[in-house]
Amino acid sequence: MNPEPATMIRPKTIERVFNISDFLMKFAVYCPRDLSDPDLEHHTLPSANTQNSDLLLQLKCQFMSSSMLTILEFPDSRLRKKALSIDTVTGSIADMADQMLSAMYEAPGIGLAATQVNVQKRLIVCDVSEEKDAPLILINPKILEQSGETETQEGCLSVPGFYETVIRPEKILLEAIDREGNPFQMEAEGLMSVCIQHEIDHLDGKLFVDYLSSAKRQLIRKKLLKQQKLSR
């Protein structure tokens, strides 16, 4: 989520590097879970899609810094993919969360979902503090209760340069898992509540522009496509 106008620079070379994830997913390239293990020949090829996804995530964390995380932009179809639940909080998950936080601060923004960097895992990060010193990592976040109603001007790192009024519940109660694998519940209201709801929407393949009229959404789509074409 992006609370205020910001110019984001994403070099083409960085985009090409990150797109290796698509290549690896298509051709199911195998890499052992322990990339430092010299005895590669004893590893067997995992068959489950979940295992391949976990290995792909490890590859991304091992070989890419936060500056290499490309934030996908609307109307990229990958933003419409629904994220998968995380069964076990591994070091790779924690590393990805840390890299997402760095990318979010650099953008700059106050929230980022894993699906925005082309990782289909239920993981979001937020920091709505003015000093940017209160990072929040939520794994498998789920809203349990909601109440009230609030109107907020929302922006999004995946929809750069556009800000529109969105109506959401004012307060929420949610459950999630932290980066150490501990389940917890928390209440949120105000900007924190809006930010968390915004990012959970991303995990479900939904963007804040979906709350707008079809005409306004198509106008934003056309303008972004034009900007993206000019930047290539």
**Domain chopping of the chain, boundaries:** 12-231
Top-confidence residue, 58 or 103: 103
pTM above 0.85, yes or no: no
Give φ, ψ of 148 to 5 degrees: 75, -175
> What pLDDT is recorded for position 34?
35
- Which range has the worst mean pLDDT, 22-31, 107-116, 145-154, 211-220? 22-31
> What pLDDT is recorded for position 227?
94
CATH architecture classification, 12-231:
Alpha-Beta Complex (3.90)
> What pLDDT is recorded for position 30?
30
Query: How confident is the model over 170-180, as pLDDT tens digits?
Result: 999 999 999 99
> What pLDDT is recorded for position 55?
58
Task: Establish whether 199 is a catalytic residue.
Answer: yes
Long-range contacts of 162-167, Cβ-Cβ distance < 8 Å, separation of 24 or more: 162/209, 162/220, 162/223, 162/224, 163/5, 164/208, 164/209, 164/211, 164/212, 164/216, 166/194, 166/208, 166/211, 167/211
Active-site residue, selected from the candidate residues 73, 154, 164, 199: 199
Query: How confident is the model over 182-203, as pLDDT tens digits?
Result: 999 999 999 999 999 999 999 9
Kindly write down the DSSP assignment for every residue of 48-68, as one continuous string.
SHHHHHHHHHHHHHHH--GGG
Give the strand order in the sheet containing 123-126.
111-113, 123-126, 136-147, 171-177, 183-189
